[in-house]
Amino acid sequence: MRQDTAVDLHSACLFTGSRFAIEPVIFVCYRPCITRMLLARCNHSLHYMQSSTLIWIVDDDMDDQYLLTIALEQVLSPLRIESLADGDEVLPRLRQASTLPDLILLDLNMTRQDGFQTLAELRSTPAYRHLPVIILTTSSAPTDREKSLSLGANGYLIKPARQDEMMRMARQLVIDWQLQ
């Protein structure tokens, strides 16, 4: 006679990110081997979400966000990327975050709040002062570089024009910031 096991996982594995949300899993399984397999997958996802590097990309250009995401995902795994469309989203999102980012890539030229103001706010908030912020912009103006560094940016990079250059830049960021 077969002995069935019922498992109800109605509160397991809830993750939320800027690009996805996985709702709570609800299932009843009558085969113990399948239950173990599903639980193992759930635990793997939990470990992945907790142990992966978290990078925030703050840029109002969706194409730049996309190309940068592709480059970073090709050189670093596991990786979580949080995309924010403007500087005025950074502090509210940080206040809600359960995990602080390992690195913030911040554009200077955004519509509602520029990168200078966002950087100044970050550096004036003690809880976020320590977060590494790299300015990633199209501006090659020396005054923008100087102002960014004087406001506390940890680095200043000019956005590459080609994807192979973006890949090189992503690899260098991983090395320089020891993102593993």
Q: What is the pLDDT of residues 132-141, one digit of tens each?
A: 999 999 999 9
How far is it between the farthest Cα atoms of the chain? 79
More confident residue, 49 or 55: 55
> At 90, which CATH number?
3.40.50.2300
Q: Does 92 score more than 60 pLDDT?
A: yes
Mean pLDDT (the chain) is 81
Q: Region 37-52: what's the mean pLDDT?
A: 49
Let me know whether 111 and 40 are in one domain. no
State residue 180's pLDDT score.
Answer: 78
Give me the number of domains the chain comprises: 2
Q: What is the pLDDT of residues 54-71, one digit of tens each?
A: 999 999 999 999 999 999
What domain range includes position 36? 15-50
